């Protein structure tokens, strides 16, 4: 089948994972601490802060029509209330380069990393974080609004509830002394680097409250309000910009007797966010695999299943299941992330093929999907796992920063050129 006109065929990255030397951010401090829970520091990453033009040109040459990237809050506002005009000018150049090469940009305003100064205030449990986030978004949109057709306020706003669902329950946790914001059992999981990082950031572990690990109800409420405040200023400054939030969603597949457990997971990870999404233009769906749910909770991958470098099941059909369930939110959907970490690029091509077949079935049944972004454009820095997992359509030589286009990139580009499978 042919996909709808103006369907967005793209790929995605995050600033900290590709730009390099994001020294004003909280994660930069943590990944460079002795005893850190990061496998390695990000360093120069993919040096995209310098090489963005060649990367965007390459996406256009492949035939892709859109690029989702993040603007780094820590670069734009390295100190509380002090905005860098040079950083804003840089991101203006990135946006203009996208338009020059016929690439529709989609901007994400927060992709896991925050300015280090925010941690001193209480991070993502601080009641003033939504207003400070909105001030940063306002500073960017007042300068760049006409260049931003699509905006995601917060990447995977539900990541903390997702992590909480996978952590031991309080009565099962080996440690009961974890900071409230970090969550029961999380402090031990993060190791001694957590305390060292807090010291370097000029705060204490109980106040640091990193975005990804602030699993408390207070933290989740702060994230939701940050989204609504950001959406408000975006719409005030650029009414034509389409605004949404992205959520991490697995294809929860309940075994007999576990239907109510799966429903509770959907409620916590999607339904509870619906009030905050009232007024959004789209929902960003981010899916990588399925989750088999039994009466004992989420189970490991089925025995004998093919696994990715991330350790979870190779299951391209997950996206179709998620889109059909998430459609109940009543918003148009854009697949803002979907991909596979593998050293075998032929498996990446197979993953894309089967995923797009699922998209076809969804569209044929009237599911409102308006775009697909593969994660990721480049083999980049995968947070705590460092550079070992390779999700990218384009390989990056860590020593020379030389790019090498993979066959899977050409395959997705051909789909984009033809606006569907052939």
pLDDT of residue 178: 32
Does the active-site annotation cover 268? no
**What average pLDDT does the segment 342-362 reach?**
98
pLDDT of residue 197: 84
pLDDT of residue 198: 86
Q: Is residue 3 part of a domain?
A: no
Q: Give residue 325's domain range.
A: 8-416
pLDDT surpassing 60 at residue 50: yes
* Main-chain phi, psi angles of 153, to 5 degrees: -70, -55
Q: What is the DSSP string of 321-350?
A: HHHHHHGGG-S-EEEEE-----S-HHHHHH
| pLDDT tens sequence across 161-205 | 888 776 544 444 333 333 334 444 445 556 667 778 888 888 888
Reported confidence tier of residue 213, pLDDT bands at 50, 70, 90: confident
CATH number of 343's domain: 3.20.20.80
pLDDT of residue 166: 66
Q: Is residue 366 part of a domain?
A: yes
Question: Taking Cα atoms as reference points, which of 1, 17, 98, 6 lies closest to residue 372?
Answer: 6
Number of domains forming the structure of the chain: 1
Angle at 136 between CA 164 and CA 59, to 5 degrees: 80
Q: What percentage of the chain carries pLDDT values higher than 70?
A: 93
| pLDDT tens sequence across 389-401 | 999 999 999 999 9
Pairing state of beta strands 150-154 and 104-110?
parallel
pLDDT of residue 191: 63
**What average pLDDT does the segment 3-13 reach?**
97
**What average pLDDT does the segment 351-378 reach?**
98
Give the C-alpha separation, 45 to 221, whole Å. Answer: 32
Other Cβ atoms closer than 10 A to 166: 10
Q: Is residue 1 part of a domain?
A: no
Q: What is the DSSP string of 258-298?
A: -HHHHHHHHHHHTGGGTGGGTT-SEEEEE---EEEEETTEE
pLDDT surpassing 70 at residue 121: yes
Q: Which of 138-147, 297-306, 364-373 has the lowest mean pLDDT?
A: 297-306
Q: Which of 31, 77, 156, 382 is an active site residue?
A: 156
Reported confidence tier of residue 402, pLDDT bands at 50, 70, 90: very high
pLDDT surpassing 50 at residue 158: yes
pLDDT of residue 35: 84
Q: Is residue 223 part of a domain?
A: yes
pLDDT of residue 202: 87
Give the C-alpha separation, 323 to 343, whole Å. Answer: 27
367-395 burial string, b = 16+ CB within 10 Å, else e? bbbbbbbbbbbbbbbbbeeebebbbbbbe
Q: Is residue 2 part of a domain?
A: no
**What average pLDDT does the segment 417-421 reach?**
96
Q: Is residue 196 part of a domain?
A: yes
Residue 109 three-state SS: strand
Give helix then strand counts, H and E, for the chain: 16, 13
Pairing state of beta strands 394-396 and 369-375?
unpaired
Q: Is residue 421 part of a domain?
A: no
pLDDT of residue 184: 42
Q: Which of 64-73, 172-181, 327-336 has the lowest mean pLDDT?
A: 172-181
**What average pLDDT does the segment 10-34 reach?**
96
| pLDDT tens sequence across 249-285 | 999 999 999 999 999 999 999 999 999 999 999 999 9
pLDDT of residue 85: 98
**How many Cα atoms occupy the beta-carbon half-sphere of 388 within 13 Å?**
11
Q: Is residue 422 part of a domain?
A: no
Give the C-alpha separation, 348 to 392, whole Å. Answer: 9
Q: CA dist 68 to 13, 94, 114, Å?
A: 6, 11, 19
Mean pLDDT across the chain: 93
pLDDT of residue 301: 87
């Amino acid at each position: 089948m042919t996909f709808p006109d103006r369907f967005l065929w793209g790929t995605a990255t995050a600033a900290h994972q590709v730009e390099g030397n994001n020294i004003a951010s909280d994660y930069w401090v943590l990944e460079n601490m002795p005893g850190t829970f990061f496998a390695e520091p990000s360093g120069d990453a993919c040096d995209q802060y310098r090489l963005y033009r060649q990367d965007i040109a390459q996406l256009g040459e492949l035939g892709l029509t859109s690029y989702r990237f993040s603007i780094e809050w820590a670069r734009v506002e390295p100190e509380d209330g002090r905005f860098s005009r040079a950083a804003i000018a840089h991101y203006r150049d990135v946006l203009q380069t996208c338009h020059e090469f016929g690439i529709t940009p989609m901007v994400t305003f927060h992709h896991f990393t925050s300015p280090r100064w925010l941690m001193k205030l209480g991070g993502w449990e601080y009641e003033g974080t939504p207003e400070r986030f909105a001030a940063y978004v306002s500073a960017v949109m007042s300068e760049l609004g006409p260049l931003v057709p699509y905006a995601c306020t917060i990447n995977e706003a539900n990541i903390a509830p997702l992590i909480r669902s996978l952590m031991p329950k309080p009565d099962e946790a080996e440690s009961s002394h974890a900071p409230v914001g970090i969550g029961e059992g999380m402090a031990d999981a993060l190791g001694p680097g957590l305390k060292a990082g807090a010291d370097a950031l000029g705060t204490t572990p109980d106040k640091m409250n990193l975005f990804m690990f602030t699993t408390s109800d207070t933290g989740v409420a702060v994230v939701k309000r940050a989204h609504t405040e950001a959406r408000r200023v975006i719409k005030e400054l650029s009414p034509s910009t389409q605004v949404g939030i992205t959520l991490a969603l697995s294809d929860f597949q309940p075994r007999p007797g576990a239907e109510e457990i799966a429903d509770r997971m959907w409620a916590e990870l999607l339904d509870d966010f619906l009030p905050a999404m009232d007024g959004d233009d789209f929902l960003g769906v981010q899916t990588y695999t399925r989750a088999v749910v039994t009466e004992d909770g989420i189970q490991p991958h089925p025995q004998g299943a093919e696994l990715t470098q991330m350790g979870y099941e190779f299951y391209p059909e997950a996206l179709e299941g998620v889109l059909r369930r998430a459609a109940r939110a009543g918003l148009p959907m854009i697949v803002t992330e979907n991909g596979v970490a593998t050293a075998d690029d032929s498996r990446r091509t197979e993953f894309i093929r089967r995923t797009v077949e699922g998209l076809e079935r969804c569209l044929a049944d009237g599911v409102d999907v308006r775009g697909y972004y593969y994660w990721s454009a480049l083999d980049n820095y995968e947070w705590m796992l460092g550079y070992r997992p390779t999700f990218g359509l384009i390989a990056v030589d860590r020593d020379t920063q030389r790019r090498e286009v993979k066959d899977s990139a050409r395959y997705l580009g051909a789909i984009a050129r033809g606006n569907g499978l052939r």
